[in-house]
Amino acid sequence: MKTPAKIVIILLVVGAAAAAIVLKGNKSSNAANSSTPVATTTAESAAAAADATAKLPKLLDLGATKCIPCKMMAPILEELKKEYAGKMKVEFIDVWQNEDAGKKYGVEMIPTQIFFDANDKELFRHTGFFGKEDILAKWKELGVNL
Protein backbone atom coordinates (compact mmCIF):
# COMPACT_ATOMS: atom_id res chain seq x y z
CA MET A 1 0.00 0.00 0.00
CA LYS A 2 1.34 3.41 -0.91
CA THR A 3 2.20 5.94 1.80
CA PRO A 4 -0.51 8.53 0.87
CA ALA A 5 -3.17 5.82 1.11
CA LYS A 6 -1.86 4.79 4.53
CA ILE A 7 -1.97 8.39 5.71
CA VAL A 8 -5.57 8.81 4.53
CA ILE A 9 -6.61 5.59 6.27
CA ILE A 10 -4.87 6.61 9.50
CA LEU A 11 -6.54 10.05 9.38
CA LEU A 12 -9.94 8.44 8.83
CA VAL A 13 -9.47 6.04 11.74
CA VAL A 14 -8.18 8.76 14.07
CA GLY A 15 -10.99 11.13 13.04
CA ALA A 16 -13.64 8.46 13.53
CA ALA A 17 -12.24 7.50 16.93
CA ALA A 18 -12.11 11.13 18.04
CA ALA A 19 -15.65 11.67 16.79
CA ALA A 20 -16.88 8.65 18.75
CA ILE A 21 -15.20 9.88 21.93
CA VAL A 22 -16.63 13.36 21.54
CA LEU A 23 -20.06 11.99 20.64
CA LYS A 24 -20.18 9.88 23.78
CA GLY A 25 -18.83 12.61 26.04
CA ASN A 26 -20.45 15.67 24.46
CA LYS A 27 -22.59 17.16 27.22
CA SER A 28 -22.02 20.83 26.37
CA SER A 29 -24.61 23.22 25.04
CA ASN A 30 -25.51 22.80 21.39
CA ALA A 31 -25.81 26.55 20.98
CA ALA A 32 -22.05 26.97 21.00
CA ASN A 33 -21.70 24.43 18.18
CA SER A 34 -24.46 25.75 15.95
CA SER A 35 -23.53 26.91 12.50
CA THR A 36 -25.13 29.50 10.29
CA PRO A 37 -28.13 28.03 8.47
CA VAL A 38 -27.86 27.79 4.71
CA ALA A 39 -30.57 29.55 2.70
CA THR A 40 -32.58 27.39 0.33
CA THR A 41 -34.30 28.38 -2.87
CA THR A 42 -38.02 28.01 -3.46
CA ALA A 43 -37.34 25.14 -5.86
CA GLU A 44 -35.23 23.34 -3.25
CA SER A 45 -37.95 23.89 -0.65
CA ALA A 46 -40.61 22.53 -3.01
CA ALA A 47 -38.44 19.51 -3.83
CA ALA A 48 -37.86 18.88 -0.13
CA ALA A 49 -41.60 19.08 0.55
CA ALA A 50 -42.30 16.63 -2.29
CA ASP A 51 -39.63 14.26 -0.95
CA ALA A 52 -41.13 14.42 2.52
CA THR A 53 -44.46 13.06 1.26
CA ALA A 54 -43.10 10.59 -1.32
CA LYS A 55 -42.44 6.97 -0.39
CA LEU A 56 -38.80 6.68 -1.38
CA PRO A 57 -35.82 4.74 -0.08
CA LYS A 58 -33.67 6.89 2.17
CA LEU A 59 -29.98 7.22 2.94
CA LEU A 60 -29.50 8.81 6.36
CA ASP A 61 -26.00 9.99 7.24
CA LEU A 62 -25.40 10.76 10.90
CA GLY A 63 -22.22 12.69 11.51
CA ALA A 64 -20.92 16.14 12.35
CA THR A 65 -19.90 19.11 10.29
CA LYS A 66 -16.53 19.26 12.07
CA CYS A 67 -15.62 15.56 11.76
CA ILE A 68 -13.01 14.87 9.04
CA PRO A 69 -14.58 11.71 7.54
CA CYS A 70 -17.98 13.42 7.75
CA LYS A 71 -16.62 16.40 5.82
CA MET A 72 -15.39 13.97 3.18
CA MET A 73 -18.91 12.51 2.95
CA ALA A 74 -20.63 15.90 2.51
CA PRO A 75 -19.97 16.39 -1.24
CA ILE A 76 -20.93 12.77 -1.93
CA LEU A 77 -24.24 13.23 -0.13
CA GLU A 78 -24.92 16.44 -2.05
CA GLU A 79 -24.19 14.70 -5.38
CA LEU A 80 -26.49 11.82 -4.49
CA LYS A 81 -29.22 14.21 -3.35
CA LYS A 82 -29.11 16.05 -6.69
CA GLU A 83 -28.57 13.08 -9.01
CA TYR A 84 -31.23 10.87 -7.41
CA ALA A 85 -33.85 13.51 -6.52
CA GLY A 86 -37.27 11.89 -6.77
CA LYS A 87 -35.72 8.41 -6.57
CA MET A 88 -34.12 8.48 -3.12
CA LYS A 89 -34.08 10.74 -0.09
CA VAL A 90 -30.67 11.74 1.25
CA GLU A 91 -30.51 13.26 4.72
CA PHE A 92 -27.71 14.41 7.00
CA ILE A 93 -28.07 14.92 10.74
CA ASP A 94 -25.33 16.55 12.79
CA VAL A 95 -25.36 14.49 15.98
CA TRP A 96 -23.16 17.00 17.78
CA GLN A 97 -25.90 19.59 17.32
CA ASN A 98 -28.74 17.07 17.69
CA GLU A 99 -27.67 14.56 20.34
CA ASP A 100 -31.16 13.06 20.52
CA ALA A 101 -30.87 11.86 16.91
CA GLY A 102 -27.66 10.03 17.75
CA LYS A 103 -29.41 8.30 20.63
CA LYS A 104 -32.56 7.59 18.58
CA TYR A 105 -30.58 5.79 15.88
CA GLY A 106 -28.12 4.13 18.28
CA VAL A 107 -25.09 5.84 16.76
CA GLU A 108 -21.85 4.82 18.45
CA MET A 109 -19.41 6.19 15.88
CA ILE A 110 -19.61 8.77 13.12
CA PRO A 111 -20.18 8.95 10.29
CA THR A 112 -22.87 6.28 10.24
CA GLN A 113 -24.96 5.70 7.15
CA ILE A 114 -28.31 3.95 7.47
CA PHE A 115 -30.13 2.65 4.40
CA PHE A 116 -33.94 2.57 4.70
CA ASP A 117 -36.49 1.13 2.30
CA ALA A 118 -39.50 3.16 1.14
CA ASN A 119 -41.41 2.09 4.28
CA ASP A 120 -38.64 3.34 6.63
CA LYS A 121 -37.44 -0.17 7.45
CA GLU A 122 -33.69 -0.26 8.10
CA LEU A 123 -31.96 -2.41 5.49
CA PHE A 124 -28.28 -1.83 6.20
CA ARG A 125 -25.96 0.21 8.39
CA HIS A 126 -22.37 1.28 7.70
CA THR A 127 -19.91 3.13 9.92
CA GLY A 128 -17.10 5.27 8.55
CA PHE A 129 -16.46 6.89 5.21
CA PHE A 130 -18.53 5.35 2.40
CA GLY A 131 -17.76 6.31 -1.20
CA LYS A 132 -20.40 7.14 -3.79
CA GLU A 133 -19.82 4.04 -5.89
CA ASP A 134 -19.93 1.87 -2.77
CA ILE A 135 -23.23 3.45 -1.72
CA LEU A 136 -24.76 2.87 -5.15
CA ALA A 137 -23.46 -0.72 -5.19
CA LYS A 138 -25.00 -1.31 -1.74
CA TRP A 139 -28.39 -0.05 -2.95
CA LYS A 140 -28.18 -2.44 -5.88
CA GLU A 141 -27.14 -5.31 -3.57
CA LEU A 142 -30.16 -4.51 -1.38
CA GLY A 143 -32.41 -4.80 -4.43
CA VAL A 144 -33.21 -1.09 -4.71
CA ASN A 145 -33.03 0.12 -8.29
CA LEU A 146 -32.34 3.82 -8.48
Looking at the annotation, which residues are catalytic? 67, 70
- Give the residue from 107, 84, 85, 81 showing the smallest Cα distance to 94: 107
CA distances (Å), 12 to each of 5, 41, 72, 73, 143, in order? Answer: 11, 34, 10, 11, 29
Q: Which run of H or E residues covers position 81?
A: helix 68-83
Torsion of CA 32, 25, 128, 97, to 10 degrees: -30
Q: Phi and psi at residue 34, in whole multiples of 5°? A: -70, 145
Distance in angstroms (rounded) separating the CA atoms of residues 127 and 143: 21
Tell me the β-bridge partners of 89: 58
